[in-house]
Chain A
Amino acid sequence: MGLRDYVIIRVLLTIPLVLILLSVVFLLIRVLPGNPCLLKFEHNVNPQLLATCESSLGLNKPLYVQFVDYFLGLFRGNLGLSMVDFQPVSAQILSRFPATLELVLYSFMVAVIVGILLGSLGATRRGSVTDGAVKVIGILLYSWPVFFLGLIFQLIFGVYLNWLPTGGRLCAGCQVPQGLTIGSVHIQTGLYTVDSILAGNLPDLVDSVRHLILPALTLGLVISGVFIRITRTNMLETLRADYVTAARARGLKDRTVVYGYALRNALLPVVTVMGLQFALLLSGAVLTETEFNIDGIGRFLVDRVNFLDYTAIQGAVVFIAILIATVALFIDILYAYLDPRVRL
């Protein structure tokens, strides 16, 4: 099978995944007791106004019609109106997505760097004290509740040492970095670190990085536990492979053998695991965003849950499902590209 056919089949397989999640969540949320229109008017409302509110949200239609409407809207990027503030949910989600993306990207970087460094360190010194320490650190990080680690960091670096802020994305009252305007084109990513670089604004960059350090370290370190273990195990297997022995026998330097030959091959299976880690990363992001007051998708979800905002909850879930499907797809394709055997 060529790479193109593989990609097409993989894309087609992604659709049922999103569809199933959408149906499950749609039905689950409709089971919820309570009418958001009644909640909105705090139960004192004349029947006419209630009927108008219900019809504007489509609540008066039969369930299957609501489902079909929602599903068709989805293709046009329409996730419905929020049941709390009657604003389009898709716009609310898109405005919060950059915060989540920025957190997830930097956490992922921390996880991969720590994971690969410690994992390969342990494998190359197999059985030594260093290896033992690496194993313990791996299990410890993997078991550490992400919210507990966050609280410890906030307490030490935010409260006691007062080095770093304990929440938010920018200092209170600071203006959001504006990005770059070239002629009539305006580039603004919503990732504050990127936008401040684009705008050439050093103080903003420093400020956004300072706000990111603690949350990204918290989430990244907890996720790195998995990477440490996988890198170590794969590296151990690769180091036993014939071509590594052959490279050693030819008198290549140990560094060249380990980092030039073994590591590259050992990292191949790590790539597939990244896809699954992404779901873990998003679970962690919900907790980390809540903890560090980062206005991302996770905190949006938690906030809206308290108001029984069906459409917003559903929108956030659909968005996360599509995001995960896209990442899984991308990683599978990357893997198929890196390792042609997958396509056989």
Chain B
Amino acid sequence: MLAGLVMVVFIVAMSVLAPFLGTQDPTFLGSQVDSPPSPRHPLGTDIGARDMLARVVWGGRFLLIVAALAVILCMAVGIPLGLLSAYRGGMVDRVVTLILDSIYAFPSLVFALIIVIVFGSSVFIYALAIAVVYVPSYFRVVRSQTLTVKELPYVDAAKSAGAGRLAIIRKYIWPNIIPSVVTVATINFADAILITAGLDFIGVGNLTRPDWGVDLYYGREAILSGAWWVIAFSGLMILVTTLGFSLISEGYAERTNPKLR
């Protein structure tokens, strides 16, 4: 978990501090196309002769913003929906569960691809696309945890002592669903990065943006002439980010659920 935290802090710090790190302009089209690492370009240049070091430093900003926004959107929709469904039961529960289960079963990248194609490739649309495919995950854990907890004797006791529904949710249900929500959120963060970079990789995003996924899109051509530096560093950055979040998720899950150890 510590290793994961270090990785995530490193990536976030680099992305936040990018304007102050004195790199070259990541979108500046130079003249030396696909040149290997050199003192002038420590990580080489890409097919547009852009400095790879600058692209690596700047390339995480879009991905991280999309992922963070997506996680917030997912929580804002998925958690209340899960609580509502578990509490109301009946028809509402069945319909909501059926619709969200359908989305859950579908390949997330394909769904996100269609949303981005229809509505455009802005930060908000990317986040929305990922939120749509990830809300079902939050919904499922919140719903199932709530269903379990709300039948427990101490909740019944609180009810008979006159506690209102909101008070029960806040005091008894909420603390029980937090661990699962945090675990889902960390995986969601990693997956959001993978989906966003994946969409960039197939070329549906804005290809002029400094973005690790876009670098890999250009890298498909570049590697045929052996230009490994175009893919290596940006790819590693994506990997470090997703690995960091996966490690945090794993560590947190083990800490809150000793059975997994």
Contact = CB atoms under 8 A, between A and B. Distances in A.
B38 interface: no
A29 interface: yes
Interface stretch (B43-51, B64-72, B83-91, B243-251): B243-251
A142 B102 CA distance: 24
Nearest to B197: A145
B101 interface: yes
Contact of B117 (A17, A142, A160, A305): A305
A325 interface: yes
A interface, size bucket: 35 or more
A144 B224 contact: no
A332 B185 CA distance: 28
Given A143-B242, A143-B243, A148-B235, A279 B197 contact: no
Interface string A14-36: 00110011001100110110000
Nearest to A316: B110
Contacts of A32: 117-118
Given A140-B243, A302-B202, A147 B107 contact: no
A301 B113 contact: yes
Most A Cβ at <10 Å: residue of B239, B245, B260 = B239
Given A25-B114, A159-B226, A282 B239 contact: no
B149 to A, nearest CB: 24
B108 interface: yes
Nearest to B246: A143
Interface string A146-158: 1110011011000
A283 interface: yes
B136 to A, nearest CB: 12
B204 interface: yes
A166 interface: yes
A284 B250 CA distance: 23
A85 to B, nearest CB: 19
Nearest to B243: A143
Contacts of B220: 151, 291
Interface string B102-126: 1101111110011101110000000
Contacts of B205: none
Most B Cβ at <10 Å: residue of A151, A284, A313, A320 = A151
Contacts of B260: 233
B141 interface: no
Contacts of A284: 109
B198 interface: yes
Contacts of B101: 17
Contacts of B202: 286-287, 290, 302
A152 B228 CA distance: 8
Interface string A311-328: 001000100110011001
A45 interface: no
Q: Is the interface of A mostly helix, strand, loop or mixed?
A: helix
A332 to B, nearest CB: 12
B114 A143 contact: no
Q: Is the interface of B mostly helix, strand, loop or mixed?
A: helix
A280 interface: yes
Given A139-B246, A152-B235, A155-B226, A324 B198 contact: no
Nearest to B234: A148
Contact of B114 (A20, A29, A279): A29
B219 A151 contact: yes
Nearest to A279: B107
B52 interface: no
A154 B223 contact: yes
A166 B106 contact: no
Given A31-B118, A279-B107, A283-B110, A143 B226 contact: no
Nearest to B225: A159
A146 B223 CA distance: 16
Contacts of A155: 223, 226, 228, 231
Contacts of A166: 224
A17 B228 contact: no
Interface in A227-266: 233
A166 B117 CA distance: 28
B190 interface: yes
Contacts of B117: 32, 305, 313
A283 B107 contact: yes
Contacts of A16: 98, 102
Contact of A20 (B102, B190, B204, B247): B102
Nearest to A155: B223
A280 B216 CA distance: 21
Nearest to A313: B114
Given A159-B226, A280-B107, A139 B113 contact: no
26 contacts: A17-B102, A17-B105, A28-B118, A29-B114, A139-B246, A143-B242, A143-B245, A145-B239, A148-B231, A151-B219, A155-B228, A159-B223, A290-B201, A290-B202, A291-B201, A291-B220, A302-B113, A302-B203, A305-B113, A313-B117, A317-B114, A320-B107, A321-B106, A324-B106, A324-B107, A325-B105
Interface of A: 16-17, 20-21, 24-25, 28-29, 31-32, 139-140, 142-148, 151-152, 154-155, 159-160, 166, 233, 276, 279-280, 282-284, 286-287, 290-291, 301-302, 305, 313, 317, 320-321, 324-325, 328
The 9 A-B pairs with the shortest beta carbon distances in the complex, nearest first, are A283-B109, A148-B235, A283-B107, A143-B242, A143-B243, A20-B102, A282-B107, A143-B246, A17-B102
